[in-house]
Structure 1
Amino acid sequence: MIYYLFDLDDTLIMHPKGKQLNYDMIQSDDKLNHLLSKCNGECYIYTNGTGGHALECIERMNIKDNFTKVYSRDTIPFMKPDFRSFKSVTNDIYRGGNDMFFFFDDQLINLKIAASVGWVTFWIHPDYKKAINYSFVTMAFPNIYECLSYLENKY
């Protein structure tokens, strides 16, 4: 089974440059909803934000039904990039066999730790072309849409 773990802020939902994001700015995202529904496995939110923030965002984006669970600062004992945070999430999800963890984040330090626990890492960032400089990044994309469109044809 493939487990898709998504950071929320600046990965699934982009914050406007120079502006603070407020919930009224968040719109339904039919394209993202469609791409998430095509993921061949289980999807999770894995954020350092609160569970309430995550739920508010994914409900406003109309993508909540795609997620099995939300991992947040108020549901797990450690936050990213703490190694123990990744181990806690792995231990909660892992069912054995040939499980694969696909992790999507905009922060390189989080991807580095994720790679160290055996996760497949996807850097979602405008500077994605610099990923060649980071051996712990499996693949990089400028946004989550391009990444999920690519994966839709591979898995």
Structure 2
Amino acid sequence: MNKLWAHISEKNFKFLTIFVGISGDLIILNWLWQRKEMFFAKYNELLEVQLKVQGLVMNESMKAELYQLFSQMLILILVAILVVHLLIYSTFYFSKPFSRNYLKLYMGSAAIGCFLSWVSSPLSMLTFLPLSVFYGICTKGLLDQKDHRFKISESESES
């Protein structure tokens, strides 16, 4: 791995990390969005159980409105996650220590989570295996970054 870092400047590593992060975010958020029907069905099932326990009945128009609310809430949460991560990636580009530490934790846990998702269902989660590898490479780079193992290009050392 040290040979890899010897050929990559810190600036290029930042671009690689940001690219992997944004790509991974889009893949994971898209995966969540595509499963909203499944999430709502499970929520609806739990709601029906609670309504029966309390002796209440919900009409179909109320269920449709609840589905719309659920969809809008999911969109809001997914967009909020994306906006926060874009802010973190921009602060990482400008070498803020908080963002580097956040990305170490986020990408490390995402590498493990994506790998475990792939293990649980190898064919349907095929995109999560390479994503796990890329997250792992970026995590290793973020951990090695404090050791200054990156190549310093001539233009970066002059400035």
Q: TM-score range by the shorter chain?
A: under 0.3
Structure with higher strand content: 1
Q: Which has the larger radius of gyration?
A: 2
Structure with the largest fraction of helix: 2
Task: Give the TM-score of the pair, scaled to structure 1.
Answer: 0.24
Q: TM-score, normalised by structure 2?
A: 0.24
